[in-house]
A and B are shown apart, each in its own frame.
Chain A
Amino acid sequence: MATYSIPVGPLHVALEEPMYFRVDIEGETVKGLEISAGHVHRGMESLALQRNYFQNITLTERLCSLCSNSHPCTYCMAVENVAGIDIPERARYLRVMADEIKRLASNLFNVGIMAHTIGFNSLFMHVMEIREQAQDIKEGVYGNRMDLAANCIGGVKYDLDDGIESFLRTQLEEMKRPLDEIYQIYAKDPLITARTKGIGILPKKDAVRLGVVGPVARGSGIAYDVRDKAPYSAYDQLSFTVQTEEAADVRSRALVRLREAMDAISLMEQCLERMPKGPTVPDCLPEIPPGQSVARSEAPRGELIYYLKSDGTDRPQRLKWRVPTYMNWEALHAMMHNCKISDIPLIINSIDPCISCTER
């Protein structure tokens, strides 16, 4: 059988963002893979050093549109760690709310794109319509469909009033049934299972070896979630289960994401119940002393780590982030081994790659 290589990307109909894959194939079967990045590098780590601590809140928010709350939130946590700031109790809950609404929308987006990649466009449209309700929440509560601008150093910039709270409750309640419904479809629909079951398997052993994070790790049976292992914001006060699946294929990663989307609704409702009254920001502007700090959080795609070094000026001396997708890229080698050409886009989508995060 003839062996040859085909390029997928950097611009390709099945890829949402530019990435170059050189795939060695034998007949229809993938035998080798080479990934090369760097097509949308913007030099944001350097840009962060040229901006002051306040401006960087917005800069980090522009890093990625789908996890656009996780970045400024973790950045603020890193700054708070170096400055020794304790955020007010109410702000903790408000941060969880912003985090979870983004997780809900991001996970729905990914499973929606999965349906689109399969060619099941009516399901894709249906999922996007459910997601639209999450978008309405973001626009109505935070003022923008993607960039919430919820965080500031030492707390959050927004607050809820009675009107907004009841709007939130109705929206969340309305999303529950459609979510249950599409979960059943993703779990049972013969068209979906035919394309996703047993595809792109990442055995638990390989998942540990490659250090994958987020739904990719949890889809391979590793119960690793920063919200559970090292709770930040108010996650230690809230109850949720770390969702895992054992089958380690494309389908199990989608199911983990869908269940996490349902959990996001429950977490937001718990926040609304338990949130104490009080201030949302401390009563002084932050003073950032020289020092170093690390902060981590669970972005929709997995563990996100921020490293900050300050020298006492109003700009960071070094700001570095390790994004979840960076860890998950390498897993594609294991997932795509001996897969069919037609499954390549599906497998790539199943790690929910965020190229703008990876290349910043």
Chain B
Amino acid sequence: MLPFLKILVRNIIKGPATEAFPFGDTFTPKRLRGRAELNPERCLACGICSHVCAGGAIAMTESADGRGMEFRLWHNTCTFCGLCEHYCPANAITMTNDWHLSHEQSEKYTCCEVQFVEYPVCKRCGKRMLPHLHQRLAKGLVGAVNTAEIMQICPDCRRLTSAMQQIKSKTCFSTDRSNS
């Protein structure tokens, strides 16, 4: 007569389906797109992340003394779309599965991911320069890049090439020795 009664009884016996959070534990999947994080060691300061950032959450400012570049990602502006992580040629940005971003109103201007990417020094003249791929290659941070070609092309083309390399990121991962 009423087919739902059977299910209703079953659900009552089964008990609540909701999680005890915030008084108990909750499950966070490994792949959850949460707070973004930058590894300044890997960052090439190429700016593709702020170019693709849908919310305009990423600001890159060169320090006044030219020593490096400040990377600032506003968590409150971030849409957690993961485009920066996807297009980053050096796998420097990762979306962690940390979703604990609540903060007090007084912290709203400091709730950011701030990192300082220091520019390397030229061995000959001592001038600061952009952390280009050669530096990273020497540290073994970026794998499977044709060094000879990279060194002969202008920064704009290099950005394109490194982005292309990133797209084959699966191979980049396997030759990446920085984690070992």
Residues of A within 8 A of B (CB): 51-52, 54-55, 57-59, 61-62, 120, 122-123, 126, 129, 132, 139-144, 147, 149, 152, 157, 164, 181, 184-185, 188-191, 279, 281-285
Q: Tell me, yes or no, whether B177 is within 8 Å of chain A by CB.
A: no
* Contact yes or no, B82 A143, CB < 8 A: yes
In the complex, the chain B residue whose C-beta lies closest to that of A163 is B30
Q: Which residues of chain B are near A184, meaning CB under 8 Å?
A: 3
Q: A-side binding surface: helix, strand, loop or mixed?
A: helix
How far is it, in angstroms, between the C-alpha of A123 and the C-alpha of B2 when the chains are bound? 12
* Contact yes or no, B29 A140, CB < 8 A: yes
Q: Which residues of chain A are near B2, meaning CB under 8 Å?
A: 189-191
How far is it, in angstroms, between the C-alpha of A234 and the C-alpha of B82 when the chains are bound? 25
Given known contacts A143-B95, A190-B1, A157 and B86 CB-to-CB distance under 8 angstroms: yes
Q: Tell me, yes or no, whether B31 is within 8 Å of chain A by CB.
A: yes
Q: How far is the CB of B94 from chain A (nearest CB, A)?
A: 12
Q: Tell me, yes or no, whether B141 is within 8 Å of chain A by CB.
A: no
Q: Tell me, yes or no, whether B138 is within 8 Å of chain A by CB.
A: no
Q: Which residues of chain B are near A55, meaning CB under 8 Å?
A: 52-54, 83
* Contact yes or no, B164 A283, CB < 8 A: yes
Q: Which residues of chain B are near A164, meaning CB under 8 Å?
A: 31
* Contact yes or no, B83 A58, CB < 8 A: yes
* Contact yes or no, A141 B167, CB < 8 A: no
Q: How far is the CB of B6 from chain A (nearest CB, A)?
A: 9
How far is it, in angstroms, between the C-alpha of A284 and the C-alpha of B7 when the chains are bound? 53
Q: How far is the CB of A161 from chain B (nearest CB, A)?
A: 10
How far is it, in angstroms, between the C-alpha of A188 and the C-alpha of B3 when the chains are bound? 8
Given known contacts A54-B83, A284-B164, A141 and B31 CB-to-CB distance under 8 angstroms: yes
* Contact yes or no, A281 B31, CB < 8 A: no
In the complex, the chain A residue whose C-beta lies closest to that of B95 is A143
Query: Which of A57, A126, A143 counts the most chain B CB atoms within 10 A?
Result: A143
Q: Which residues of chain A are near B79, meaning CB under 8 Å?
A: 58, 62, 147
In the complex, the chain B residue whose C-beta lies closest to that of A136 is B29
* Contact yes or no, A143 B167, CB < 8 A: no
**With A143-B32, A188-B3 already in contact, 13 other A-B pairs whose C-beta atoms are closer than 8 Å:** A52-B51, A55-B53, A57-B83, A58-B81, A61-B81, A122-B8, A144-B32, A144-B33, A147-B80, A185-B4, A185-B7, A279-B168, A281-B167
User: Could you list 17 examples of A-B contacts with CB < 8 Å?
Assistant: A55-B52, A55-B53, A58-B55, A58-B79, A129-B17, A140-B29, A143-B97, A144-B32, A144-B33, A152-B86, A188-B3, A190-B2, A279-B170, A283-B168, A284-B164, A285-B163, A285-B167
* Contact yes or no, B82 A140, CB < 8 A: no
How far is it, in angstroms, between the C-alpha of A184 and the C-alpha of B95 when the chains are bound? 42
In the complex, the chain A residue whose C-beta lies closest to that of B28 is A139
In the complex, the chain A residue whose C-beta lies closest to that of B7 is A126
Q: Tell me, yes or no, whether B87 is within 8 Å of chain A by CB.
A: yes
Contact among B17, B87, B95, B167 for A132, CB-based, below 8 A:
B17
A-B interface, 4 closest residue pairs, ranked by CB to CB distance from nearest: A58-B54, A143-B33, A54-B52, A58-B81
Contact among A51, A122, A143, A190 for B54, CB-based, below 8 A:
A51
Given known contacts A140-B31, A190-B2, A285-B163, A54 and B87 CB-to-CB distance under 8 angstroms: yes
Q: Which residues of chain A are near B4, meaning CB under 8 Å?
A: 120, 122-123, 126, 185, 189, 191
How far is it, in angstroms, between the C-alpha of A108 and the C-alpha of B17 when the chains are bound? 18
How far is it, in angstroms, between the C-alpha of A240 and the C-alpha of B80 when the chains are bound? 34
Q: Tell me, yes or no, whether B160 is within 8 Å of chain A by CB.
A: yes
* Contact yes or no, A282 B54, CB < 8 A: no
Q: Tell me, yes or no, whether B178 is within 8 Å of chain A by CB.
A: no
Q: How far is the CB of B26 from chain A (nearest CB, A)?
A: 11
